[in-house]
Amino acid sequence: MPKRKKIYGLLAEFPNPAALYHACEKVRDAGYAAWDAYSPFPVHGLEKAMGLGRSVVPWIVAIMGFSGAGLGFLMQWWMSAVDYPLIISAKPYNSYPAFVPVTFELGILLGSFGAVFGMFALNRLPQLYHSLFNSDRFAKVTDDGFFIAIEARDPNYDPVRTRTLLEEAGAIAVEEVED
Amino acid sequence: MSAHHVSVEDLAPDQIRLPEKSGWRKLPAVGGVLALVGIGGAFAMKSGNEQQFYYSYLTSLLFWLAIGLGGYFFTLVQHATRAGWSIVVRRLAENVMITLPVLGLLALPIFLGIHDLYHWSHEEVVANDPMLSWKAPYLNTGDFLVRGVVYIVVWAIVAFLFYTWSTRQDGSGDPAPLAHKMRGFAPFGLVLFGLSVTFAAIDWIMSLDPHWFSTIFGVYYFAGIVVSIHAFLAVVVVLLQRSGVLRGVVTPEHYHDIGKMMFAFSVFWAYIAYSQYMLYWYASIPEETYWFAYRGHGGWLVLSLLLVFGRFAIPFVLFMSRRWKRKASSLVFWAAWMLVGQYLDMYWLVQPVLAHEHGSDQIHFGILDVLTFIGIGGAFLAVFGWALGRAALVPVRDPRLEESLNFENF
């Protein structure tokens, strides 16, 4: 007898963004936690329908941005006033008005890095393998497929009841995906 | 994706028109009284204080004019770019714009006070000053008056035309011809705006200190104009909604966009202000730096720092928040903050010249500043209030109104 494969969860396909949106509300209200919605393009307000909390990204951006600005200023102060002091057009070594652009730019640069890489980290990207790619149907997600996947590790998960929930929420196809 | 789609037919009259008993309908009367008290009072206290009167008057005028011109700019930009999001607040901007003919009349005292404000207007001064003699072909009383009248006439005519077209569209059968007309003329109106605002800023503000020059000066005033109009719109929209109208018409999506523009242009202001300062500071040529030098001492230094931090750094860090742009109370708070910043900025541009002339480095904020502010503001609000009650609060026949009602940010 072949070894039974582990199940990742249930994948449900929905016909359009509106159906996906309302299905998300139902899954959210049923109290699931380990699930996600997939769409070829951003669906406005989906984060509310999914009941997602506030993103942590702004805090990462704030910390990175302030660090960038601080380090930018320190770097210039250290270079022009400590390590290699030069008198330039009779200005003091620590001529902070001249440091403003670089300070600002480094604040923005590190803030942007924080936004992009912080988002990557929170989404655990890049991922070389994801169970959902075991489903042939899931390839449609880059074109015209709208999906919800509820993971088997969710405490509310039940192969029958979860399937019924998804079907009642308007899924046009529900399938079990191997891990 | 919102819960439901709003169509233009869904709009109830009490959503988009001021009710007969609305307190807003008292605004013309209240504003009129404030105008009489403020301007009358200031004129009554003028004798013996001529110079301070005109400096205070110019400061207040520039503040309110920035909002009025902002209405002009906002309205025409939305037409020129075929913007959809802004239609629900465009009528309010048009109501701001139609204050320009009155603000233009209120600008006339600048010409009466020309000898108190602008010392290049004294011929004996110019004759003994090589730099001013060199500038005399541009900076002379006759041309100054002619140019001033041209700016005022341009603002008044363009404002009047666009206001009339838009309100006429409200009752028209086919809205398309007027929509196309406004879109077609808007770019020309914007070119006129750019030229008139640049030269007005040079004539009326920069020439207060006629030896100093900055090629970026018009843009500096422009940045304040754009911040002011978005701030004013934010305050007015939220107050109107508190009084019961425009609910369900202007949404947090529109707050968000108004907030974004306000934020962006306060950063733009900082960029222009810093670019202007940085080049002069770096080159360190006395005839260029002295303008900043007397703003960098005594009370003016405090005001300068207040502008750097209050008008840029603090809002940059805090008002960046998406949530604070989308929430009515915090949007109004930051909008009011920006308007205070705009007044301080106008004060910082105008009044140090007078103090410097009298060898003082202290700020003397006085009753004349308050009275002229209330007076010109009263006239501004009277016209604005009159326009609010005169037509619907949104351009009801605009072809993109429905798009705007259902507008959402991604």
Q: What is the mean pLDDT of residues A142-157?
A: 94
Task: Look at residue B76 and tell me whether its pLDDT is greater than 90.
Answer: yes
Q: What is the mean pLDDT of residues A68-82?
A: 97
Q: Is A129 exposed, middle or buried (0-12, 13-18, 19+ CB in 10 A)?
A: exposed
B-chain CB neighbours of A100 within 8 Å are 274, 278
Rg of chain B in Å (alpha carbons):
22
Q: In percent, how much of chain B has pLDDT > 70?
A: 99
Q: At what angle do helices B50-80 and B141-170 cross, to 10 degrees?
A: 40
Rg of chain A in Å (alpha carbons):
25
- Quote the ipTM score: 0.82
Which of A40-49, B100-109, B112-121, B191-200 is least confident?
Answer: A40-49
Q: What is the mean pLDDT of residues A46-61?
A: 92
Across A86-95, B16-25, B371-380, the highest mean pLDDT is recorded for B371-380
Q: In percent, how much of chain A has pLDDT > 90?
A: 89
B321 at the A interface (CB within 8 A)? yes
Cis check: omega of the bond before A58, within 30 degrees of 0:
no
pLDDT for residue B5:
85
Cβ of B408 within 8 Å of Cβ of A44? The answer is yes
pLDDT for residue A179:
86
pLDDT for residue A3:
63
Q: What is the pLDDT of residues A161-175, one digit of tens each?
A: 999 999 999 999 999
Task: Look at residue B1 and tell me whether its pLDDT is greater than 50.
Answer: no
Q: What is the mean pLDDT of residues B89-118?
A: 97
A-chain CB neighbours of B408 within 8 Å are 44-45
CA B321, CA B260: separation in Å to the nearest integer? 10
Q: Which residue has the higher pLDDT, A161 or B5?
A: A161
CA B310, CA B301: separation in Å to the nearest integer? 13
Q: What is the pLDDT of residues B208-220, one digit of tens each?
A: 999 999 999 999 9
The model carries a pTM of 0.92
CB–CB of A177/A134 below 8 Å?
A: yes
- Please give the mean pLDDT across all residues of chain B: 95
Cβ of B284 within 8 Å of Cβ of A18? The answer is no
Q: Which amino acid is located at A105 in the chain? A: E
Q: What is the mean pLDDT of residues B221-242?
A: 98
Q: Which of B217, B212, B189 is nearest to B62 (CA)?
A: B217
Q: Which two tokens stand for residue A89?
A: 């057009």
Domain spans of chain A, in order of start? 7-54+127-178, 57-122
Q: What is the pLDDT of residues B254-310, one digit of tens each?
A: 999 999 999 999 999 999 999 999 999 999 999 999 999 999 999 999 999 999 999
CA B244, CA B239: separation in Å to the nearest integer? 9
Task: Look at residue A4 and tell me whether its pLDDT is greater than 70.
Answer: no
pLDDT for residue B3:
53
Task: Look at residue B313 and tell me whether its pLDDT is greater than 70.
Answer: yes
Task: Look at residue B85 and tell me whether its pLDDT is greater than 90.
Answer: yes
Q: What is the mean pLDDT of residues A68-96?
A: 95
In A, minimum Cα distance to B1 occurs at A44
A-chain CB neighbours of B284 within 8 Å are 89-91
Q: In percent, how much of chain B has pLDDT > 90?
A: 93
Q: Which amino acid is located at A17 in the chain? A: P
Only one residue has tokens 């899924």, namely: A171
Q: What is the mean pLDDT of residues B372-376?
A: 98
B-chain CB neighbours of A44 within 8 Å are 1-2, 408, 410
Q: What is the mean pLDDT of residues B65-81?
A: 98
Architecture of the domain delimited by A7-54+127-178: 2-Layer Sandwich (3.30)
Cβ of A21 within 8 Å of Cβ of B284? The answer is no
- pLDDT band of residue A1 (cuts 50, 70, 90) is low
CA B90, CA B233: separation in Å to the nearest integer? 9
